[in-house]
Every structure is written in C-alpha cells, then in structure tokens.
Amino acid sequence: MSNKANKYSSNHLKWKLLRKHISPSQLVGFSLASLIGLTIVILAVQFYQDVKPIFNDEESFIKKDYLIVTQAVSTAGTLLGSKSQFSQEAIADIEAQPWCRKVGKFSSNDYSLYATISVGGMGGSAMGTMLFFESIPTEFIDVADSDWKFDPAKPEIPVIMSRDYLSLYNFGFAASQGMPQVSEGIISKVPLEFTLRGNGHNETIKGRIVGFSNRLNTIIVPEDFMKWSNERYGSGLERDPSRIIVEVNSPGDVKMQRYLEDHGYQVAGEKMQQGKAQYFLTLVVTIVIIVGIIISVLAFFVLMLSIYLLLQKNTKKLQDLLLLGYSPSQVSRPYINMVMAINAVVLVLAVIIMLLARACYLPMLRAMGTNGGTIVVAIIVAIVIMSLITVGNIFAIKRKIKALWIQQS
C-alpha cells in the first residue's frame, strides 16, 4: 500500500475514533448563531454602503462637509440698526470646537457695484443691475479654474456664480419673459462689465464667469481682487464677516447642532437636515453592527465550549494517540479541519444571504436615484471576521492538545 493510502487510512481511523462524542446539535447551534451574527454585520455594512450616495454625492468616507453659518437677525437688532456679524472671538470659539475642522470668512465689497451683461453680444442690447461680490479662501471653493486670480495690470474679474442663480433665470425669469434659456457653456462666454464706484473712483472692468458652484449660494470673486478693490474703491478696513463657511466632521453631529442653537446661529440650506438623517443612519448601522459582532463573539465562545467539552470527553483517546506516537498537530488536525469547514460554509452562506437581501432592497434605492455602493467592503469585512474567529478556534484547539501532550510527557 502506498504512503498516500496509508496516510488516508490513518486519518480516517483517527476521525472515526474522535468523532464519537461530537454533538451535531451543538455544531448546528454554533453554525446558526455564527451565521446570524455574521449576516447582520455584513448586511449592515452593505446597506450603509448602498445608502450613503443618497446623502453624499462624493463617494468617499473622508468627504468634506461644509456649512454656511450666519447669525440670526432679530427684530430688536433691526430697529436699533445693529449688524449681525461674527467677532474674532466668536470665530476662534467655533474653530476650537471638536466638530470643526476649519473656518473660512466671507468678505464683501465695500463700494457701489453695477453689473452689465450684453444680451446680443457686441452692439446688442444690454441688461444691468446693482450687484454684490463676496470672496472666501480658495480652499473652500468647489470650482477649479487656472484663471482664478486677479492681476491689476490686466484687469479682468473672474467670477464664480451659484448654479441656483442660473436655474432661477432659466426656469423663472426667462420662462416668464419669453427670453431664451442659456446653458453654462454659453453664459460663460457672454461679455460682462462691472462698474465700480467709490472713494473718488468710477471705473468699468470686464468680467468673466469661470464656473458655477453647488456649495456657495452667492457671487464669488478671488480674495486678491476683493482686497485690491476694497482698498481702491472702499475704506480698505477689514470688517467682521456677516457669515462664515465651516468645514465640519459631520453636519449631523448632535453637539454641533446644540452649539449652533445655543449661540443663535443659523445654517443656510438643508445641509443640517441631510446631516441629521445621515447621522441617524450611521448611528443605527453602528448599533446593528455592534449587535451582530456580539452575536458572532457569543457564537465563537459557543463553539469553543463545544470543542472543549468534546476534547474533555475524548481525553483518554487523545492520550492514547499521543502515546502511539502521533504529534499534537496530527491529533488536532481533525478538529481544525472540522472548524475550518464549518466556518467556510458559514462565510459563504452569509455572503449569499447578504446578496439576496440586497437584491430585495436595491430596487427601492434605484428609485431614489442611486445604484448602491460596492459589495467589496462587506465581503472583506466577512472574510476578516471569519478569519479571526477561525484563527482563534485553531489556537484554542492546539493549546488544549498541547496541554494534554505535556501532561502525557
């Protein structure tokens, strides 16, 4: 008989000898508990991955969130003529908060500004209106353009406009007045002129729209232009900002919301409501994952208890095998193979159940405008968890067999 056949026969006899006291009901119970725990964990992870794009256009765990913060305008302040502005102390206090990454200050023009747009190009009709400019640090701007700078020697004002303004024109003003709708590409090529008056100066400077912002509901110009123009046409004095932009860890942070409410600050747009929903989603998913991990850990200890009881019942047989010359690794191999097979089956079934559950809720998410996220993260989490459980099982089995071997020696 060949060595391979002898080895197979030896392993088969060992397994027949050691499996006598194995309780199928205990193994099924462990497998079921482990399957439930692992499925809960990876299904929660996958659901979070699939739902996250609804709250976040940038598919990244480290996406930056921004809030435009203003001070509430009170009736008393209106009657007294006071302005709602952020002092340097107030800004420093916001920057010191744990949920704040950094703060950017809005600067506005300190002079009269009139904008003219040529509707028909050169020689065509023109429309004009009083206007305002604001500027913030470039790092807070969501439009990238190489021409985002101002040179007084070759004056042309680059402008970033809120995309909402263009929508208001196209679907509000243009529709009601019978005027043509324009695309972003066309409006970027339309000639603009800005007349700046103040401090004894009255000059007209050409301008150009270089982009449209989803984040900033205003008209933005470079900071170097704002500083230059305020010094030339305005007082040149630095004023406290009436609003600020804050980069935060999460717009749904409960502590941040309480801080803003306590200080009478207001947040522009629906970012806070979206942040609350995302914060609640994260909280629920975290709780579900913790419950799943607890179940998985309990399942691990159930299996370990079953194995220890099994080893205890087979102590005499294990000692006999060790006396016959079998090494501890050879004696522990049947139990290790059994654990690896059970955990592999649990892993595969958990992933299948997760995919089936995902197929049930994914059509509802598609109706909300998202195709879901990647399944890679959930599968990696499943593999990592089951690998850790398997390594723990193997270590415990080897340790128990080795202890018997030492006693036998």
Segment 201-222 mean pLDDT: 88
- The yes-or-no verdict on residue 356 having pLDDT over 90 is yes
The secondary structure of residue 368, as a DSSP letter, is T
Between 57 and 394, residue with greater pLDDT? 394
Distances (CA, A) of 217 to 41, 141, 165, 265, 372: 40, 11, 8, 18, 29
- The yes-or-no verdict on residue 376 having pLDDT over 60 is yes
pLDDT band (50, 70, 90) for residue 328:
low
DSSP secondary structure of 347-359: HHHHHHHHHHHHH
Segment 37-65 mean pLDDT: 69
pLDDT value at residue 340: 87
Q: Which residue stretches of 133-220 are H helix?
A: 163-168, 174-177, 184-187
Closest to 306 measured CA to CA, from 27, 36, 103: 27
79: phi then psi, degrees, rounded to nearest 5: -65, -35
Between 269 and 111, residue with greater pLDDT? 111
pLDDT band (50, 70, 90) for residue 274:
low
pLDDT value at residue 386: 86
Distances (CA, A) of 380 to 33, 46, 345, 353: 20, 11, 16, 15
Highest mean pLDDT among 30-44, 130-144, 216-230: 216-230
Q: What percent of the chain has pLDDT over 90?
A: 14
Evaluated on CA atoms 90, 91, 92, 96, the torsion sign reads: positive
pLDDT value at residue 58: 45
- The yes-or-no verdict on residue 72 having pLDDT over 60 is yes
pLDDT value at residue 404: 63
DSSP secondary structure of 215-261: S--SEE--HHHHHHHHHHHS-------SEEEEEES-TT-HHHHHHHH
- The yes-or-no verdict on residue 254 having pLDDT over 90 is no
pLDDT value at residue 8: 44
Whole-angstrom distance, CA of residue 187 vs CA of residue 182: 6
pLDDT band (50, 70, 90) for residue 299:
low
Q: Which two tokens stand for residue 226?
A: 């704002």
Q: What percent of the chain has pLDDT over 70?
A: 71
Least confident of 210-224, 280-294, 356-370: 280-294
pLDDT value at residue 112: 92
| Model confidence pLDDT, tens digit, residues 139-168 | 888 777 667 888 888 888 999 888 888 888
Least confident of 28-37, 91-100, 236-245: 28-37
Whole-angstrom distance, CA of residue 332 vs CA of residue 14: 10
Identity of residue 119: V
pLDDT band (50, 70, 90) for residue 389:
confident
Segment 20-46 mean pLDDT: 76
- The yes-or-no verdict on residue 60 having pLDDT over 50 is no
- Could you tell me which residues are beta bridge partners of residue 266? 70
Q: Are 248 and 186 in contact (CB under 8 A)?
A: no
Between 324 and 28, residue with greater pLDDT? 28
pLDDT value at residue 352: 94
Segment 326-332 long-range contacts (CB within 8 Å, at least 24 positions apart): 326/14, 328/398, 328/401, 328/402, 328/404, 328/405, 329/398, 330/14, 331/14, 331/401, 331/405, 332/397, 332/398, 332/401
What does pLDDT average to over the chain? 77
pLDDT band (50, 70, 90) for residue 277:
low
Instruction: With 0.75 as the threshold, say if the pTM is over it.
Output: no
Least confident of 107-116, 157-166, 178-187, 348-357: 178-187
Give buried/exposed letters for 237-255 (b at 16+ CB in 10 A, else e).
Answer: eeeebbbbbbebeebbbee
pLDDT band (50, 70, 90) for residue 106:
very high
Between 61 and 204, residue with greater pLDDT? 204
Whole-angstrom distance, CA of residue 103 vs CA of residue 35: 47
- The yes-or-no verdict on residue 220 having pLDDT over 60 is yes
Q: Are 111 and 230 in contact (CB under 8 A)?
A: yes
- The yes-or-no verdict on residue 276 having pLDDT over 70 is no
Between 21 and 282, residue with greater pLDDT? 282
pLDDT value at residue 125: 55
Between 133 and 118, residue with greater pLDDT? 133
Q: Edge-to-edge strand order for the sheet containing 243-248?
A: 100-105, 243-248, 65-71, 265-267
CA of residue 222 relative to chain centroid, distance? 29
Between 165 and 135, residue with greater pLDDT? 135
Q: Where are the domains of the chain?
A: 3-60+276-408, 65-269
